[in-house]
Amino acid sequence: MADFNSQVQEPVREEPSAGAESEKKKSLSREILEWVMVVVVALAAAFLIRTFIFEPVRVDGNSMLETLQNNEYMITTKYQYLFNDPQRFDVVICHYPDRGGTNFVKRIVGVPGDTVAVHDGTLYINGESIEEAYIVHKPNYNYPEEVVKAGHYFVLGDNRSNSNDSHAPGVGQLSRGQIIGKVRLVAWPFAAFRVVE
């Protein structure tokens, strides 16, 4: 005869061991470390890309009209200037003397050894007048012939009558290290997307 009064025995609950708690903490620490490493690698990759490969830069001002418009975003590449020198007529991002890391966008018109002059609204390089189809705003100044020094570049804005560039006191010729990257295209706004030449 079954004994209905017999008690049901509760299963014995095992308390988690100190080892299991320690393993759980190690697992959490490992996961946090993995996330930190992912963030560090991503930041390092972004830094390397911006420093050596390409960077988006916003146009600030009207000194490159009509080639570039105020507030457009350009894509500039940097890798080609790691191994090769800038070329005449490249549109570049550059830094000015005593202006820190401020980016300026200009066009190289004189490379080392060139002579550069401006007379009656026309650019002269090595004594020859240059036909510049991209110039809408001709210079309202004359600039006497000047030799571009070794390791330096003469830059002008395409809006020649309204640009603070190598013809202006306080800027002058830029050293090779002040030429940062080459402007490739306008990426924003999308409606204005185009290659820059």
What is the C-alpha separation between 34 and 44, in angstroms, rounded?
15
Region 190-196 average pLDDT:
91
Active site residue 63: yes
What is the C-alpha separation between 102 and 84, in angstroms, rounded?
23
What is the C-alpha separation between 181 and 77, in angstroms, rounded?
5
pLDDT for 145 equals: 97
pLDDT at 14 over 60: no
What six digits make up the tokens of 44? 């390092």
Active site residue 175: no
Query: What's the chain's Rg over C-alpha atoms?
Result: 31
What is the C-alpha separation between 179 and 155, in angstroms, rounded?
10
What is the C-alpha separation between 175 and 95, in angstroms, rounded?
9
pLDDT for 4 equals: 46
pLDDT band at 39 (very low <50, low <70, confident <90, very high): confident
Q: Which residue has the higher pLDDT, 99 or 64?
A: 64
What is the C-alpha separation between 153 and 175, in angstroms, rounded?
6
pLDDT at 154 over 80: yes
| Active-site annotation holder among 22, 27, 29, 63 | 63
pLDDT band at 81 (very low <50, low <70, confident <90, very high): confident
pLDDT for 31 equals: 78
| Active-site annotation holder among 78, 106, 166, 182 | 106
User: pTM for this structure?
Assistant: 0.74
